[in-house]
Amino acid sequence: MREVLEFGRIPVQMKNPTTEEERKECLLAKRLCNTKKYMTQEDLHRLDELKAEAQKKRKSEKDKGTAEELMDKVRALGHYPSDKENSVLARALRKARAAALFSLLKRLSLTSCGGLHNA
Summarize pLDDT for 55-104 with one digit per residue, the tens: 887 776 666 667 778 878 877 888 777 777 667 878 877 777 776 766 65
Q: What is the mean pLDDT of the chain?
A: 78
pLDDT band for 20, please (50, 70, 90 cuts): very high
Instruction: Give CA separation, 30 vs 4, 33, 47, 111, in Å.
Output: 12, 5, 15, 52
- Per the CB < 8 A criterion, the answer to whether 28 and 3 are in contact is yes
Report the SS3 class of residue 76: helix
Rounded-to-integer distance, Cα 30 and Cα 35, Å: 9
| Closest to 111 (Cα-Cα) out of 95, 93, 98 | 93
Burial of 86 per CB tally in 10 Å (0-12, 13-18, 19+)? middle
- Per the CB < 8 A criterion, the answer to whether 67 and 37 are in contact is no
